[in-house]
Structure 1
Amino acid sequence: MMKKESLIKVGISVGDLNGIGVEIILKTFEDARMLEFCTPIIFGSTKSLSFQRKYFKIQANYNGVDNVDQAVEGKLNVVNVWKDSPNVEYGKETKEGGKYAFLSLKAATAALKADKIDVLVTAPINKHNIQSKDFKFPGHTDYLAKELEGDSLMFMVSDELKVGLLTDHVPVTEVSKHITPELIKKKVFKINESLIQDFKIRKPKIAVLGINPHAGDHGVIGKEDDAVLRPTIKEIHESGILVYGPYAADSFFATGAHKKFDAVLASYHDQGLIPFKTLAFGHGVNYTAGLSKVRTSPDHGTGYDIAGKGEADPASFKEALFTAIHIFKNRLEYKEITSNPLKKLSSKL
């Protein structure tokens, strides 16, 4: 008799308790069918979840445990990271909110590093109130880059669109000086690698957006595109990776040019995230590519403006959860195929 395959263990950090994080988590698992796809393990406390479950009148049952090893398949598990009852002030940025967001993230990350969970899905944090002597990072991506092996890449993904960033949480005034040939090569290689092993795209096509308006207009509006981007892109293309550009960002998405590529590499945060969130908001996912472990997050923030009102939509969180599961499975398959030349050959036939 064949042994039943174990479900993927999905670790979940709760984010800012004053935001919509716990609400979208509970709403996701209010549908018991979700437990057929994974074993969810929330890092927080049963007291905190009980308060919010009662507040929002959400019918989601869970199993409280003291450590990850006690998690049970077929149930929503909650690891008690803290025993006290934090004060919840919906919609407010508080020091306490940041403190418990980090405690949850820290515990979940430790479990991920120790292979106690297979993937990590993070609810939104407030990048300001989470700052402390233990967390001095612009966000999840940079923290996880330090804790996990590899070079992180902020990769916004949906079924129709995938956008990576050359620079992420960098002031606009400093963008151009951060973009070097070495950085461009590293990010392009990471996107190419992720598209192959994480998304099963055999020969990816990647577009790079220009730094300046109209990609510099041949030096009329800045020289960085001609001096740095064009020659580096040409060099990478000659190495065998299908990368093209730089393209003028202002018309690239409006004309549907992005549909001709498997991914787009934007020069800076808003250049990539504004079109992504316009086209994919609500079903997009923030994926930290390039690391030894899989981490995803919904494509929105703490939602302070709607926190406590019961209006939060869990759609993006669900997408983040399913994306993490799919990437984990794709990585296992890729590893198996590339380690076995015969399987690799048969997969091409």
Structure 2
Amino acid sequence: MKSSDKIKVGISIGDLNGIGSEIVLKTFEDVRMMELCTPVVFASARTITFIKKKLNIDIAFQGVDDAAQAIDNKFNVVNVWKENVTVNFGEETEEAGRHAFLSLQAATNALKQGDVDILVTAPINKHNIQSEEFRFPGHTDYLAKELGGESLMFMITDTLKVGLLTDHVAVKDVAAAITPQLIEKKVRIIHKTLQQDFRISQPKIAVLGINPHSGDGGVIGNEDEEIMKPTLEKIRNSGKLIFGPYSADSFFGSGNYKNFDAIIAAYHDQGLIPFKTLSFGSGVNFTAGLSKVRTSPDHGTAYEIAGKNEADHHSFKEAVFKGIDIFKSRQEYEELTQNVLKKQGKKI
């Protein structure tokens, strides 16, 4: 931590034509948030002034030219651009995509340099953000490249945590993408993040089958019998509490998910449909496995309500809370690890 005890929360503004700016402003309209952290938004004073007036959101802010200049007890806005930007709520535009990337790039650089402690990203449009500099399916892959580590999309609430073996992969390509190496890697990431980021010393992890009814003994596909089961057995033999594969259709409805610290789904919708059904509006997308902490709300740009002052900001607020909690947990874990190594007389 730096001279201030408050955690600096870097915030990328997302697609300006979506609800990102609205949920950011509504979150910090509550001045009590400034007692918890120092928000640093990467956008521009002109743009934020226009949006807050348009949405009638009562929030004062401090414009700064660099994240290192951010002031405690203020809502800080880093001037990433100075030109006037046209905001057309509800429309997908090239201009909005370009400025979403500029904000994300600046926020990520500040995170790498230590000028902010964590990153919370407002929603982007995965189509209009594409450019020579951003050729990724989404935030997760971009941040994995920039920050280093083995990334994993991890959807979290206090009582439900769902990770994905494959995330933004077409359904027709899922089975071929799942290998023993991928399963072992994702289990390793989730096991470590549960320990270091969520204070769970002996995590219990469930894995969902790839096929309906986990293949029904090979009747509905052989991937679960030939790939999933032997790989999970190997992991169990290493000492990890890993269970499955479970039939995905009944796993959540039966309440079985409550018996585990985390669940690993084989593909995007297998995990995110039940997660969002059970927790929509309070869930958080956490990128596990990175060298830095990044969270985001569990929804997209919501063009259909952008500019109408109807957006629910609670998922974004939860993303801020969870990011701060994870940052503190990780600090405690690192300190504990260092103390153990010192006692063992090993070099750190």
TM-score (norm 1): 0.97
Cα distance in 2 between the residues matched to 1:210 and 1:183: 14
Q: Does 1:262 align with 2:261?
A: yes
Cα distance in 2 between the residues matched to 1:87 and 1:74: 30
Structure 2 matches for 1:79-118, cutoff 5 A? 79-118=78-117
User: How far apart are 1:342 and its partner, in Å?
Assistant: 9.2
Cα distance in 2 between the residues matched to 1:259 and 1:91: 38
Q: Does 1:332 align with 2:331?
A: yes
Unaligned runs of 5+ in 1: none
Q: Which residue of 2 aligns with 1:33?
A: 32
Structure 2 matches for 1:5-24, cutoff 5 A? 6-24=5-23
1:272 is aligned with what amino acid?
Answer: G
User: How far apart are 1:85 and its partner, in Å?
Assistant: 1.4
Q: Does 1:200 align with 2:199?
A: yes
2:211 is aligned with what amino acid?
Answer: N
SS at the partner of 2:301?
coil
Structure 1 residues 238-259: Cα deviation after superposition (integer angstroms, max 9, x where no partner): 1011001000000000000000
Structure 1 163/344 Cα, relative in aligned 2: closer, same or farther at 3 Å? farther
Cα distance in 2 between the residues matched to 1:5 and 1:65: 17
SS at the partner of 2:132?
coil
TM-score (norm 2): 0.97
1:67 is aligned with what amino acid?
Answer: D
Q: Does 1:67 align with 2:66?
A: yes
Q: Which residue of 2 aligns with 1:170?
A: 169
- The alignment-based identity, stated in percent, is 64
1:203 is aligned with what amino acid?
Answer: Q
Cα distance in 2 between the residues matched to 1:302 and 1:193: 31
Q: Does 1:248 align with 2:247?
A: yes
| Stretches (4+) displaced over 4 A | 342-345
- Over aligned residues, Cα RMSD in angstroms? 1.4
Structure 1 200/233 Cα, relative in aligned 2: closer, same or farther at 3 Å? same
Structure 1 residues 131-155: Cα deviation after superposition (integer angstroms, max 9, x where no partner): 0010000000000000012010000
Cα distance in 2 between the residues matched to 1:202 and 1:159: 16
Structure 1 27/234 Cα, relative in aligned 2: closer, same or farther at 3 Å? same
SS at the partner of 1:340?
helix
1:201 is aligned with what amino acid?
Answer: I
SS at the partner of 1:120?
strand
Q: Which residue of 2 aligns with 1:188?
A: 187
SS at the partner of 1:32?
coil
User: How far apart are 1:341 and its partner, in Å?
Assistant: 2.4
Cα distance in 2 between the residues matched to 1:104 and 1:344: 44
- Decide whether the 8 Å contact of 1:43 with 1:78 is kept in 2: yes
- Decide whether the 8 Å contact of 1:124 with 1:298 is kept in 2: yes
